[in-house]
Amino acid sequence: MADLKNRRANFALLAAILGSSMSFIDGSAVNVALPVLQRDLHASASAAQWVVESYGLFLSALMLIGGALGDVYGRRNIYACGIAIFALASIACAIAPNIEVLIVARSVQGMGGALAVPGSLALISSSFSGAARGRAIGTWSGFSAITAAVGPVLGGWLVQYASWRWVFFINIPLALAVLTLLTQVDESRDPQAGRKLDLVGAALATSALGALVYGLIRLQGAALDAIGLATTIAGLAALAAFVVFEGRTADPMVRLDLFSVRRFSAANIYTFLLYATIGGSLYFLPFDLINVQHYPPSLAGAALLPFVAIMFTFSRLSGGLVARIGARIPLTAGAVFAACGFAVFAFAGVGHSYWTTFFPGAVLLGCGGALFVAPLTTTVMDAVKPSHAGTASGINNAVSRVSGLIAIAVLGIALANVFETQLEHTLAGASLSAATRAAVTRDRAVIVAGQVPPEITAPRERAIVANAVRSAFAGGFRVAMLVSAFIALLAAGVGLDRSFSFAARASSR
């Protein structure tokens, strides 16, 4: 009987790893494909952002209700539904004829992810207990990292030698494998969970995040945009209304009482800050590598291999640290390492060797991730009762996704402002024809992503504009990385919270 239970638990772990890998591979591979995808579909910089943001928007807003659905209707069942929706939407992304259809398909993909992502950790938490849970989460973190490593490398190779459309097709075999494994996994529920869905809360969260991201993206222009400012304020107001409503409704999708546990609250603040730096900064990295450094997509996809390789190697070991020394040391040290990695990226410059620029930054970031990913996840799951695992997982995953969603837009504002200033300064004294200057002004939405308008064909003028664009984007990228490093140091400060210490953890039992 024990052997059967262990076998089913291992099937659950494998299904969780492969299912999460779909999301991780998709996210990392799509980021590498974005510069080429943008050119092929003739999309603006803001439209390219929406390819990522539309997915993240629905994933973040509905993940909370996805975790609650798993607690009520069965974590295995809801997980399977999410995987199926994600796979079907991936096919729609792969055959999208234009950027608008792709953005819609990515939105549906986010809805599927909202059901699947919280279910992966909930499956592990309901199948393992005690120290075995920490080891299982460490294994999940490590294998998720290695499959995430396959994403950009495979995605870059596909973009370079086939088409960016194949980036979405790679989800299909993974989905079929997960659905097969789930037939061997035990179902689990929270018997105390209510069955009324918080549709008002879901609507408020979606509209709040949508308005906030839309407004922030509009504010990336050179001049202050009144609509962007008003929409951003409206998004913040809707977010406040969401919090108030969740505190008053009888069946909230976000259980605010969980935040009364200091360790749970501190862990989510840490998550928001650190995952904002990762999700936000790594969005812009492929644009710098491909459009500025002129890396081919395959090498751009491989640039972060040291990051994921180090995480894969050491995440399982760090997963057990919480039981021995508490989470305080690994969380603080991990955030400091990450800050150092972003600082190295900031001073990569243009045209320098990978081994003296992006490689050491990726190594430092990998050391940081190996230290904080598994301990952070274990801390979040251990802070609540096992029966609340689905909700807790949904909250923490939503926090990490929301932070990246907002960070892409916020860092985009910083990058765009520096880019505009430097580009204007560089081109002001350049000898350019009126037609070229008109193209630079007209195609600003494309140029801000690091591209040169195709209508500028004169070799001398094209070279001048290309060098100015590369230099301006590198300057904006530097500021975005420095902002990320600062936020990571703020996360390190949160990691020092006494609730993460071993003594505090032991006394809470």
Q: How far is CA 45 from CA 218, 462, 504, in A?
A: 11, 20, 47
130: exposed, middle or buried (C-beta count within 10 Å: 0-12, 13-18, 19+)?
A: exposed
Contact 218, 410 (CB under 8 A): no
pLDDT, residue 102, reads 95
Beta strands in 401-489 (DSSP E): none
pLDDT digits (tens, 9 = 90+) for 433-483: 888 888 887 777 677 766 777 778 788 888 888 888 889 899 999 999 999
Q: Does pLDDT of 35 surpass 70?
A: yes
Neighbours of 199 (CB within 10 A): 10
pLDDT, residue 397, reads 76
Q: What is the CATH number of domain 2-197+253-421+471-507?
A: 1.20.1250.20
- For residue 326, the cross-strand partners are 501
Q: Does pLDDT of 392 surpass 50?
A: yes
Q: Does pLDDT of 509 surpass 50?
A: no
pLDDT digits (tens, 9 = 90+) for 201-252: 888 988 998 999 889 888 886 667 788 899 999 999 999 999 999 888 887 8
Please tell me whether residue 198 adopts helix, strand or coil conformation.
Answer: coil
Type of residue numbered 381: M
Q: Quick one: which of 410, 378, 376, 389 has its CA closest to 480? A: 410
Residue 118 binned pLDDT confidence (cut-offs 50, 70, 90): confident
Q: Quick one: which of 436, 427, 472, 469 has its CA closest to 452? A: 469
Query: Distance between CA 162 and CA 498 in Å, rounded?
Result: 52
For the whole prediction, is pTM greater than 0.85? no
Rg (CA), the chain: 22
Q: Where are the domains of the chain?
A: 2-197+253-421+471-507
Residue 501 φ then ψ, to 5°: -75, 155
Higher pLDDT, 136 or 97: 97
End-to-end CA distance of the chain: 30
Residue 427 binned pLDDT confidence (cut-offs 50, 70, 90): confident
Higher pLDDT, 184 or 231: 231
Query: Distance between CA 405 and CA 113 in Å, rounded?
Result: 15
Q: Does pLDDT of 506 surpass 80?
A: no
Average pLDDT over residues 267-273: 94
pLDDT, residue 354, reads 94
pLDDT digits (tens, 9 = 90+) for 290-340: 888 989 988 988 898 888 788 877 776 776 667 777 788 899 999 999 999
Average pLDDT over residues 384-412: 81
Query: Distance between CA 233 and CA 403 in Å, rounded?
Result: 17
Q: Which H or E run includes 500? A: none
pLDDT digits (tens, 9 = 90+) for 335-355: 999 999 999 999 998 889 999
pLDDT, residue 14, reads 83
